């Protein structure tokens, strides 16, 4: 063993600096400090991580206690991010529902920004999910909104996406086989170059599908 690089515990190294330098050459002393230092390192790690357990967004081993608080059955097969998301969604359901609260719930479920617009005359609100990099579980989003929205309100979900269009112009040459003006009497052929522009216009129109959606009924085989 290389005594110069031992002990490896940060706490043991700090403790070793507080005693006589003679212990730097003692194999037994260094092992004693190593054993005590490992215990202190573990305790310090627990203290450092403790502040992250106060919020479900950063909780690690403390996510179990958050699940118990909101009566969520623990599922060890899920990733820590998925378990955090379940707690965050359940926590949001306890607050009064308004457009800002629904927008936050949609962000928690989809990982994307969203806007909510109310139509008081039709008792409907529209949810616009903005473009993003995260994958969205559409069924989970619908189920979550149904569970938190006021029962007398209907809703529509719109996913916005970025689109682009490229217009390409192909040029072709034409040869006039007729004589030009002045070459033969009484024959006039007028030619010229026209300068114009193309202004494309894109319009979008929403449509309501009255057909049964996939997954809501039995599939015919």
| 106 shares a domain with 150 | yes
Looking at per-residue confidence, does 4 or 119 come out higher? Answer: 119
Asked whether residue 36 is domain-assigned, the answer is yes
pLDDT in tens, 90-126: 776 666 678 888 888 888 888 889 999 988 888 889 9
pLDDT tens for residues 154-209?
A: 898 988 887 777 777 777 776 656 666 666 655 555 555 666 666 666 666 666 55
Residue 213 placed within a domain: no
Q: Is residue 173 part of a domain?
A: no
Residue 195 lies in a domain: no
Name the residue range of residue 130's domain: 96-162
Residue 200: inside a domain:
no
Confidence at residue 172, expressed as pLDDT on a 0 to 100 scale: 73
Count: domains in the chain: 3
Same domain, 4 and 17: yes
- Are 48 and 2 part of one and the same domain? yes
Going by pLDDT thresholds of 50, 70 and 90, the confidence category of residue 221 is very low
pLDDT of residue 33: 84
- Average pLDDT along the chain: 79
Query: Residue 120's domain is classified under what CATH number?
Result: 3.30.300.20
Report yes or no on 118 lying in a domain: yes
What pLDDT does 102 receive?
Answer: 87
Q: Same domain, yes or no, for 101 and 157?
A: yes
Asked if 132 contacts 155 with a C-beta cutoff of 8 angstroms, the reply is no
Q: How far apart are CA 20 and CA 181, in angstroms?
A: 113
pLDDT at 209: 53
Do the domain assignments include residue 182? no
Instruction: Decide: pTM greater than 0.85.
Output: no
Distances (CA, A) of 123 to 90, 106, 111, 210: 25, 19, 27, 19
């Amino acid at each position: 063993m290389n005594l110069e690089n031992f002990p490896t515990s940060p706490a043991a190294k700090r403790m070793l600096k507080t005693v006589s330098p003679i212990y730097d050459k003692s194999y037994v002393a260094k092992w004693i400090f190593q054993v005590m230092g490992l215990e202190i390192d573990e305790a310090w790690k627990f203290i450092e991580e403790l502040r992250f357990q106060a919020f479900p967004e950063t909780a690690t081993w403390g996510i179990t206690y958050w699940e118990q608080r909101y009566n969520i059955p623990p599922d060890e097969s899920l990733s820590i991010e998925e378990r955090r998301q379940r707690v965050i969604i359940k926590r949001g359901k306890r607050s009064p529902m308004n457009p800002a609260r629904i927008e936050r719930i949609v962000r928690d479920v989809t990982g994307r920004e969203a806007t909510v617009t109310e139509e008081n005359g039709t008792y409907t609100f529209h949810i616009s999910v903005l473009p993003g990099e995260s994958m969205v579980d559409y069924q989970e989003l619908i189920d979550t909104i149904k569970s938190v929205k006021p029962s007398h309100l209907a809703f529509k979900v719109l996913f916005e996406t970025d689109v682009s269009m490229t217009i390409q112009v192909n040029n072709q040459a034409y040869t006039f086989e007729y004589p030009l003006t002045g070459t033969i009497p009484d024959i006039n052929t007028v030619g010229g170059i026209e300068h114009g522009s193309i202004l494309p216009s894109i319009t979008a129109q929403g449509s309501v599908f009255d057909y049964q959606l996939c997954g809501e009924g039995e599939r015919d085989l």
